[in-house]
Structure formats: structure tokens, C-alpha cells
Structure 1
């Protein structure tokens, strides 16, 4: 009987999703690394192997949310929604690749706000060409405010650095980053309470719409796997993503040299697209069903999670590891994020969308991608290298 349940669980999780044909690339990446060492093929194979794992991680989280209720389910989605990016970031921190951590997290925010939201607006606007789609403006305003707060957290350490206004060079900037990260985590916790408890009437329509759409899209309204099966699959997928993330991070610099692609482009553009591939597809599908509130929850909600939780979490984790991870994302990157948040907040203020707004966001993302393709990090000065070693 146990074998039949296990077989059914494996069949549902492994063999029912079309993206899972990419799963063999993960073991192949490990095999190539063992036989030929770190090279560009290891990077590419790991990148492809992580795509279905990220999607299945989201699936297992949704299944577990059936048993936990809406409040705990919201917390689960907040925790595991960007787990792939956080796992990659932790392994990059362990390898002292702080810039890869900063750039990949920044890229996740930019791709969700410009590419994902743009594609959702564009596809939804094409399908519903005769009318203007609408969404809950109140939730968009709250998320825009949090994103602006995140920009403030990243802006001040950069300004402190580039205006040479530090009381103690290399230390004040890091101390400010760690203090600001703790404040941002506190603000994110307050946001979760506000969203799930204090202002449930504000978000109830969104949750009811999401639940209804998920139920109508499935043949069976009941969960497909049990609670403990969901927990076991979450554990297995998290461990396997962790393994592939290590190979991916170790091969980034070699892949950058052999493929003639800047590390900044790989970190800001390629890694986030892979980590968010499943979310990209779901946001577009919901927009094409005129469920824009859910699309915004996927795109803008994910950006909020990364900016207010993911980035501060990595700063605190680096603090624990003894790594000088800070909120100084450099002037070019911080300016890019600031302009992106302003553009998206401006387009969301009316509470309506159409295909032209989507097209503008997609074109903005292409400009950002081209900018990072020609952007190279300036080398660290001797003072900066000394402060990092200290």
C-alpha cells in the first residue's frame, strides 16, 4: 500500500509537468563536472536543471498550503516563493562572491517588475483587446511603497560610499547596511501581519479570486498529494536545488570567460529568468484569464519579497558567516532599480492595464538587459580591498 502511494506521488510530481523533461540536465551537470571539471557546460546544464525544480518547489508549496489554511499558506508562499534565488545566494556568499549575490537579487526584482509584469499586461491586453483590464489599486500602492523603502535602504549606503561621507571607511557603510537590513526585515514582518491579519478585507477579494481560479483550473478541487508527501517533496527539491546551485555558482566565472558574457549580465538577466521561469508563465496565464490581481501578486509581490526580505536576509546571513555583504549595490545598479520602481509605480497608479503598458515595460527590460551586457564592475581600490579583508 505504501508503495502504491509512493508511486502515485512520484508520478504526479515528476511525470505530470512538461517542464520536467529538463530534469536530467541536473544529474548530467554533476557528471560533466566530475569528468571534466568546472566549465561552461556545467553552468549551462545546471541552469537548465534548476528550471523544473523551481517550478516543482512552487507546486509542492501550493499543495502544502491546502492543509495549512490561508494565513499559514501565505507565509509558506512568502518563504518558498523565492527559495531558488535565496539558495543560490547563500552558496555564492559561502564562495565569497558577494557581487553575484547582489546582482542576482537585483536581477530578480528587475525581471519581475519589468519582464513578468510587462508580459502579463501585454498578453492580457491582447486577449482582452476590446476593454481595459483593472486590478486592485490599493494593494499595488502598498507594494510600491515597500519597493520605494527598499530603494531607500540601498540608496543611502551607496551615497555614503560615493560621497566619501563615512565616519570610518569601510565600516560605517557595512554597519549602516546591517542596521537597515534589520529595519527592513521588521517592516516586512509588519507587512505580512498587515496583509494576512490586520487588513484581510483589503486582500480577501484577491485571495478568493486566486482560490477560485485555481479550483476551476483543476479537475479535482482536493490536493493531489498528502501533507507529508508535500513536506517530503519540499525537502527533496530544496536539497537538490542546493546541490545544483553549488555547481552553478562555482562555474559562473569560468562560463563568463568562455562564453564572453559579463558576470553582471549572467547574474542580473540569466539567473533570475531561470529561477522565476514558472512564476513568469503563471503570471501570464492569469492575465490572459483576466485575473490581473493574481498576476500582480506574482510579479510585484515577488519583487517585494526579494527587496524587503531576500536582500536583508542575505546581509544578515553574510553577517553570521563573517562575509561583508552590504546594501551598497554600486551606483549603476542602484540607479537602475530606482528608475525601475518609479516607472512601474507610475504605470500602476491608475489601477488599469493594457497591451501598450505591457509593451513599454518589456522594452524597458530590453534596455536594462543591454545596459548590463555592456556594463563591467569597476575594480576595487586598495582601500576597499583592505576593508574587505579586515
Structure 2
């Protein structure tokens, strides 16, 4: 396995980023140093994720990356909820969902497709991911429609938000049981279990084709299983710190360029917070491990919508600052179109570079629209 980052440069820029934050260096200098640090730390996390995926499998490796990556966003979300910044929280949730579905997945399909003409993964998993994305949309649309059309009373807002949040958390936990335990083989990646229940001989053919493309000649990971897990945890902690330091410098740029809070939350904060997923997903796709890339991108979006957002609803009540699950029309539209195009592209279980380009195009359209708000 080739080296992704120089350990010396990684440590140097992490320390410089910390020094800039705590010594209150000029915001512009902090931003530049922290941005470089994020790149190095994300590369470190990408290497750790790939190493873990080698031992645990592409799906579990991708799930671990998405979980560790979203841990930082959950912590930042809790801090924002405590301060009562609900609009920023919802904007960042929106940005995380559309960023993973459009930007992370799009760049992964594009980069992987340029190197490998056609990449395949379990079609049953693609279908289940699509269904879960639809459930997430329904859970966000229904409260907004029922409350904004005044079919329900305003005092029902809190109760409905708590019930929906509870259902989403239960659905996500049961999905983990379904996908990781009871139907693990059914949803296994075609390159790892080419004889899955739904893939049969076709999946075996795909597995052979993928191995011929270079999968069977892959070098073993540079780290042992224990080191890989340890470095994954360490890299995630570093990502959380560096991302928070970088986000702390954004106010200056927001004021200087007259950016709206919703644009900063949905795009700037989301892109920075997802830097780790960006790096890991793209690197894995270029190594023909598209199953892990899809698990990182789509799995991270599902985790945000079905677990992180509902958890923040309950956390807000613990702080005595109840946050509802009602998103704005703009946010719902952005999430809706993202789910629609992502489901359309991923439902056949195979990808190419042009499909990645289409996802990036939709992300650009939404980015310009949010910028002009």
C-alpha cells in the first residue's frame, strides 16, 4: 500500500492549526493552515479506512468510516443545539445529506469511472438504500406539510417531532441488524461474495471481471488489524478538531463575501465536515472498491437523516431548548432532488464516470441557488 500522507507534515500542520486556533492568529492565516491540515488528516483517515476495510470487508469498512466521520458532525450539532442555533443545525444537516449524496458520491463515481470503465456492487443493497432514502424524505416532508398547512395545531409540533424522531432511530437501528447480521450475505458486495442470493452466476462473473481489473493483485495493508482500528479512531479525533478549528474561521469570510447563513451551513460547513468521507470514498473508488465508496457516501447520508438528526431532536429537549423536525421549503427541495437523482443513478447496481458527473452537476445547481439566497 502506497503512502497517502507524510506523517511529519501531518503532525506539523495539525500542531500549526491548533496553535493558530488557541493563539488567535489572523483568521485568514488560520483558514489556510487549517484547510491544509484537513487535507492531510483526511488522507490519513482514508488510508486507515481502506486498511480496516481490508480486514472487515468493504461494507463494514465503509460503515465505520461513515460513523466515525459523522461523529464529528454530531458533536458540533450538539454544541449548536445547546446555543439554540437551530437554523444552522438544520442547514448543516441538509448540507451533509446532499453533500454526501451528490458531491462525495459524484466525485467517487467520476474518479473511479475514469480508471475503471464499469464498476459494480450489490444491486439488492442499491435497492434497500433507495428505499431508506425515500423513508428519510417522507419523515421530513410529512411534518412540514401537516404543520405548515395548519392541519395540525402548533402545540402538536413538539409531539410530532419526537414521535417521528423515535421512529427514525428505531428504523435505523433495525436496519443495522438487518444489514450487518440477519441478511449480511444477501447484501454483501459482489467482489466479496459473488454468490449472493440475488446475484447468482451474474455476480460471480462480475467478481471475476473485477478481480481481472486488478482487485486480485492488491497489495496487503501496511498496518495490522489492531493498528488499523487504532489509527481510524485517532484520525477521526484529529478530523473533529481540525474541522472545528476551520469552521471557527468562517465568520470572517461570511461577512467579507456577504454569504447567507443557510449557504454557509449547507455548503461550506458541510464540505469541511465531510472532508474525511470525500477523501476515503474517492480513494476506494479509484481502487475499484465501489461498494465501500457507496457505503460511505449513501450510508453517511442515511445515518445523518435517520439517526443524527433525530438524536439532535431528543438532545435539544435535554437542554431545555426543544428543536422541531420541520425543515424549510428550500431545504426540503434540496434534499428531495438529491435523493431522486441519487436513487435513479444507483438503483441498477453499476456505475460509470458520467453518472458521477450528473450528480456533481446537480450539486453545482443547488450550490449556485443557495449562494444567491
Normalised by the size of structure 2, how large is the TM-score? 0.78
> In the TM superposition, what whole-angstrom CA distance separates every residue of 1:50-105 from its partner, at most 9, and x where no partner exists?
45445545656776788989998787545314222222222222332222221122
Is the contact made by 1:119 and 1:358 (CA closer than 8 Å) also made in structure 2?
A: yes
Shift of 1:240: 5.3
1:75-224 equivalent positions in 2, closer than 5 A:
76-77=64-65, 79-129=67-117, 132-167=118-153, 169=154, 171-205=155-189, 208=192, 219-221=219-221, 224=223
Distance 1:301 1:17, change over 3 A: same
For residues 70 and 24 of structure 2, what CA distance do their matches in structure 1 show? Answer: 31
For residues 282 and 313 of structure 1, what CA distance do their matches in structure 2 show? Answer: 26
Larger mean Cα displacement after TM superposition, 355-364 or 70-79:
70-79
**Equivalent residue, structure 2, for 1:346:** 344
For residues 106 and 127 of structure 2, what CA distance do their matches in structure 1 show? Answer: 18
Shift of 1:364: 0.7
For residues 83 and 28 of structure 2, what CA distance do their matches in structure 1 show? Answer: 18
Shift of 1:272: 2.4
Distance 1:291 1:143, change over 3 A: same
Distance 1:120 1:199, change over 3 A: same
Ranked by relative contact order (alpha carbons within 8 Å, sequence separation 6 or more), the top structure is 2
> In the TM superposition, what whole-angstrom CA distance separates every residue of 1:143-171 from its partner, at most 9, and x where no partner exists?
1111111111111222133213332x2x4
Distance 1:96 1:87, change over 3 A: same
- Secondary structure of 1:284 counterpart: helix
Distance 1:313 1:140, change over 3 A: same
Unaligned ranges ≥5, structure 2? 194-206
Normalised by the size of structure 1, how large is the TM-score? 0.75
Unaligned ranges ≥5, structure 1? 1-14, 376-390
- Within the candidate set 321, 324, 336, 2:334 is matched to 336
Is the contact made by 1:158 and 1:328 (CA closer than 8 Å) also made in structure 2?
A: yes
Distance 1:245 1:350, change over 3 A: closer
Distance 1:206 1:302, change over 3 A: farther
For residues 325 and 8 of structure 2, what CA distance do their matches in structure 1 show? Answer: 36
For the aligned residue pairs, the C-alpha RMSD in angstroms reads 3.7
Is the contact made by 1:26 and 1:48 (CA closer than 8 Å) also made in structure 2?
A: no
For residues 64 and 347 of structure 2, what CA distance do their matches in structure 1 show? Answer: 29
For residues 287 and 235 of structure 1, what CA distance do their matches in structure 2 show? Answer: 22
- Within the candidate set 258, 261, 265, 2:259 is matched to 261
Is the contact made by 2:115 and 2:286 (CA closer than 8 Å) also made in structure 1?
A: yes
Is the contact made by 1:51 and 1:274 (CA closer than 8 Å) also made in structure 2?
A: no
Is the contact made by 1:261 and 1:373 (CA closer than 8 Å) also made in structure 2?
A: yes
Is the contact made by 1:151 and 1:337 (CA closer than 8 Å) also made in structure 2?
A: yes
**Equivalent residue, structure 2, for 1:312:** 310
